Amino acid sequence: MTKLRVGVAGLGVVGGGLLSILMQKSERFDRAGIEVEIAGISARNRHRDRGVPLEGIKWYDDPVELARSDIDIFIELVGGADGTARAAVEAALSAGKHVITANKALIAEHGLHLARLAEQKGVSLFYEAAVAAGIPAIHALRGGAAASSIHRIVGILNGTCNYMLTQMAETGATYEAALQEAQRLGYAEADPTFDVGGFDAAHKLCILAIIGFDAAVDFKTISISGIQKITAEDIAAARQLNYRIRLLGIATRSESGLELSVHPALVDEEDPIARAAGPDNVLVFEGDPIGRIQISGPGAGAGPTAAAVAADIVTIARGGGGPVFNAPADRLRDLKVIDPERQTGRFYLRITLKDVPGAIAAITDTLARNDISIDSLLQPSVEAALKKHQPADSATLVLTTHSTSASKMYSVAREISEKSFVSGVPSVIRIEDFQ
């Protein structure tokens, strides 16, 4: 029987869920020959009810003190890239303790530093719960795909955004209404910026890219845009074009370097990525010789996240180790990151026009002068499904382009917005084709 003493810092919903798993003496642990003792706990509020009995467990006001105590594994569930979380994890690693964390921001922004420290001390740093909760994304890349050359990673990495976009598509809800419903159900925080702004997805993408490409990816090099500007009209127009809008994290490796981006995108409605609904996450890895691998499931929630942390405990008990990422931190490649403005692709463009003669012709002429070729054109003002989104004295023009550079597309959109017959700011969204 392998006996492990663990210390848990952070007793929110995930921490409480983990304590419940450990206290129930999981049959899986017994069959694996593992006995886990909760040797210490720490949180900001000592008296809050966590739904599990805490009597008899040693309490630490300072997580750093807990990290240095007589434990085998320090489990960090505090959150945040810096401050208490970082200090406690550094203290635990420096003291020769194994560390498990669900903290995506910490790993994305300081993972290389922490990996070097763990490898110097000969201890493990595991973080399965930091990406996609109940989906074994990290395990898939570090294990099953470890011998393959990964060239693209695509994912719906934020359940909050996917739930909101699904609601907008299925019910016709506005962005604001979908956000309120997500907050009511607990999918979105009171301040949802971290989720809807794309930062949560970007942290996860950074971690996946480091592992998948054996590259020292800097989080600050990721191009990030969220879903705040997606409107009900965009959702409806996408449906008319047989697309769904999803917030995607995309990392691509080529001879030119890395493309790293989190952005809303139109995805063909028949693609499995587009069919991922509600708060679910989906991940696709493409490479040689594995081909295309897709995994999906619950990307958030106390149960799946706590279960992922518990799975890391089992991995440590079984002697799992090796580099924190796919390769030792000091051997990760320094790959060039391509400027997002130089990235190319197809685009969706929606423009609200005042109802004046020649307006559409002027728009198409502007695109032609800038060498942007139109793939399809839709004037949704004649579509009953979109009429309710338009002012009475206006018309909406929606078009898709052939491949062009992002810089050229955004420059043309700014030029179009300055025309006297254009109302508001044109909507520009990338189109991603994965087939």
Coil, helix or strand at residue 52: coil
Return the sign of the alpha-carbon dihedral for residues 300, 304, 306, 310.
negative
Alpha-carbon distance of 385 to 119, in angstroms, equals: 58
Alpha-carbon distance of 370 to 372, in angstroms, equals: 6
pLDDT tens-digit readout, 366-412: 999 999 999 998 865 445 445 555 555 678 899 999 999 999 999 99
Instruction: Flag whether 299 is marked binding.
Output: no
In 3D, which of 275, 267, 178 has the Cα closest to residue 227? Answer: 178
Instruction: Flag whether 17 is marked binding.
Output: no
Instruction: Flag whether 233 is marked binding.
Output: no
pLDDT tens-digit readout, 87-139: 999 999 999 999 999 999 999 999 999 999 999 999 999 999 999 877 888 88
Instruction: Flag whether 121 is marked binding.
Output: no
Sorted by sequence, the CB contacts under 8 Å of residue 80 that are 6+ apart come out as 86, 103, 105, 106
Peptide bond into 289 cis (omega under 30): yes
pLDDT tens-digit readout, 269-320: 999 999 998 888 999 999 999 888 899 887 767 788 898 999 999 999 988 7
- Say what the pLDDT of residue 387 is: 54
Alpha-carbon distance of 399 to 368, in angstroms, equals: 13
- Say what the pLDDT of residue 332 is: 94
- Say what the pLDDT of residue 321 is: 76
pLDDT tens-digit readout, 421-430: 998 899 999 9
Q: Are 162 and 215 in contact (CB under 8 A)?
A: no
Mean pLDDT of the chain: 90
Instruction: Flag whether 104 is marked binding.
Output: yes
Q: Which of 4-13, 186-195, 258-267, 367-376 has the lowest mean pLDDT?
A: 186-195
Residue 187 predicted with pLDDT over 80: yes
Q: What is the mean pLDDT of residues 252-261?
A: 94
Active-site annotation, residues = 204
- Say what the pLDDT of residue 53 is: 84
Instruction: Flag whether 16 is marked binding.
Output: yes
Instruction: Flag whether 131 is marked binding.
Output: no
Sorted by sequence, the CB contacts under 8 Å of residue 322 that are 6+ apart come out as none
